[in-house]
Amino acid sequence: MTAVGTLDNLVWRKSSFSTGGSNGGGTCVEVALGDGIVAARDSKVPDDGAITVSHARWASFLDALRTGRFDL
């Protein structure tokens, strides 16, 4: 578990695809790497919190997206 406040110091990144387009760049997930965690949040409402998972779980998630295998 991540201590409260530690997410404030992370560098948040979002896809370059989030700029422009029909959604005006407002619909995107931001991701940040922390000490032992990966955090994800909604870019429209960043103050509403984030989910955090281990680096290993995030890697499994990305692999599932790439391969279409969702038996996480």
Q: What was the pLDDT predicted at 37?
A: 95
Which of the pair, 25 or 8, is modelled with greater confidence?
Answer: 8
How far is 56 from 59, CA to CA, in rounded Å?
5
* DSSP letter (8 states) at residue 48: G
> pLDDT category, 4, cuts 50, 70, 90?
very low
14-65 residue pLDDT tens: 877 776 555 555 678 899 999 999 999 998 888 899 999 999 999 999 999 8
> pLDDT category, 2, cuts 50, 70, 90?
very low
**Is the pLDDT assigned to residue 1 strictly greater than 50?**
no
